[in-house]
Structure 1
């Protein structure tokens, strides 16, 4: 049995798809278990190749994980905490980035400024696992959702990464006037924000659907356009090749942006250096530098590129 730790969020799991598929191909006869939040099961299915989900949350002890896995693979981070969570299970081998504090001297070195997809493919290749950085496509779920919607997703994990709601509302209002059918999406904790954006945009009550992850996957897969901040739904748009515009603030798109060779995905960033993405406090200045006109122009560009591909 191979146990893989990636107990993070939607975007984190989506960008790990190439590494996860590489591990599946490298161990075709082994049970592949993924330690991740249970609510991510629809996305795990969309990636494919995982036999079992072990419920896990970030760096908490892996209480439900089987002990003595043949190989424990740390796709979570650089350590030492994540290394220790896996070492507690007494695996036959630990595949992880080198970390002296965890007593793990094997493995590649961690590079802070590396793109997250490249990072985990480089990691996999170090251990002899073939990994294709462009293997990001996701399987569409079997779910009945409206087709061809334009999705605006105003939320993000930290306040520093949330573009002002009045600017999202301006974009939504103008897109609707241009003939787009607009939905405002967000997590359960972001419903008040979504309602505010919808009301300021003059949209009706049906513009804020209550969706689980399966429905969100379906909506993105069938969407005309996705506009969001640097958060999980942007990576779903990449996985479904849905035209998208992603607004970056503290973190550079060189670390988390869409593939640069796909003209139907556009990252907007006015920063000069990459910082932590979980910064508390006000909206990051790089994000505030983005105006509604720029987002609308980018949206028109990616739709044109998608029509031409």
Structure 2
């Protein structure tokens, strides 16, 4: 058995897709298990190639499989805690970044500024396993009764600093609706109150609010068949990349060079105000790099990706 650890969220799993597929190709006759949160199960199915999900919440506990673990792969972090967690399943070999604290020295050095997709591909490459960082496409979800062709606005993020101000999402929703978009709003159950407020301010009907109404499979289905996605640097943006859905992603304070969509995908635009020096931020609410992004900038980016989609369709026709 091969066990890979990625006990994080939606975007984290999406950025590990090339590495997981590389492991599948490298060990075609071995069972590939992924240690990840149970609620990500439907998305793991859309990645493909993973034989078993080992439900794992954070780094608290990883149940040792009954099968012999030949290779354990740390796609979670730099260690030492994640290294030690994997060591607990008794692998014959550990593939991981070097961590003196975990007494693991044969892996490559960690690079804080590396893009998240490239990081895990480089890790595997150091152990002789080729990985293609552009292999990000996700499987199509099963048909559903969710709307298609919608414009998805995702105001939330589990990191408050990464949220664009809600009133700007409301203003954006109003303008896009006038322009002919069918706007829907997504988010987690905990974000529903904010999303409902955005919908009310934007004049959207209650059925435009999907926050708390869809599981991860439903969210993937919405994004896969959407016209456009606008969000911060969060999991929905990575789903848009995986489905080649046109997207505008607002970054701050983490730069897009670490988590942004691939530059070769013309249907995606990133907006970032740059690192700067933001001495007036009190640590509450949206980071100044997010607040610095204006509505007009987002509308220009929306127009750019929509023109790219139209051009692609014209070529295909």
The root-mean-square deviation of aligned C-alpha atoms, in Å, is 1.6
* Alpha-carbon offset, residue 143 of structure 1: 2.9
Q: Distance in 1 between matches of 2:134 and 2:218?
A: 25
* Alpha-carbon offset, residue 224 of structure 1: 0.2
Q: Distance in 1 between matches of 2:221 and 2:243?
A: 10
* Alpha-carbon offset, residue 124 of structure 1: 1.0
Which of residues 288, 291, 294 is equivalent to 2:291?
A: 288
Change in 2 beyond 3 A, CA 1:149/1:169 = same
Gaps of 5+ in 1: none
Q: Distance in 2 between matches of 1:79 and 1:164?
A: 35
Q: What are the superposed Cα offsets for residues 86-145 of structure 1, whole Å, 9 maximum, x if unpaired?
A: 111221111100000000011111000000011011111111111111100001111312
Q: What are the superposed Cα offsets for residues 30-87 of structure 1, whole Å, 9 maximum, x if unpaired?
A: 0000000011111111110000000001111113644751111100000000001011
Could you tell me whether the CA contact under 8 Å between 1:252 and 1:273 is conserved in 2? Answer: no
Could you tell me whether the CA contact under 8 Å between 1:143 and 1:214 is conserved in 2? Answer: no
Change in 2 beyond 3 A, CA 1:274/1:229 = farther
* Alpha-carbon offset, residue 283 of structure 1: 1.3
Alignment of 1:96-135 (within 5 A): 96-135=96-135
Alignment of 1:257-296 (within 5 A): 257-272=260-275, 281-296=284-299
Query: TM-score, with normalisation over the residues of structure 1?
Result: 0.96
SS of the equivalent of 2:184 reads: strand
Q: Distance in 2 between matches of 1:308 and 1:142?
A: 28
Q: Distance in 2 between matches of 1:117 and 1:274?
A: 28
What is the number of equivalent residue pairs in this alignment? 306
State the partner residue of 2:8. Answer: 8
Which of residues 240, 249, 253 is equivalent to 2:252?
A: 249
Which of residues 212, 219, 238 is equivalent to 1:235?
A: 238
State the partner residue of 1:163. Answer: 164
SS of the equivalent of 1:261 reads: coil
Change in 2 beyond 3 A, CA 1:66/1:267 = farther
Query: TM-score, with normalisation over the residues of structure 2?
Result: 0.94
Q: What are the superposed Cα offsets for residues 203-249 of structure 1, whole Å, 9 maximum, x if unpaired?
A: 00000021111111111000000000000000000000000000001
Q: Distance in 2 between matches of 1:102 and 1:184?
A: 43
* Alpha-carbon offset, residue 282 of structure 1: 2.6
Could you tell me whether the CA contact under 8 Å between 2:64 and 2:89 is conserved in 1? Answer: no
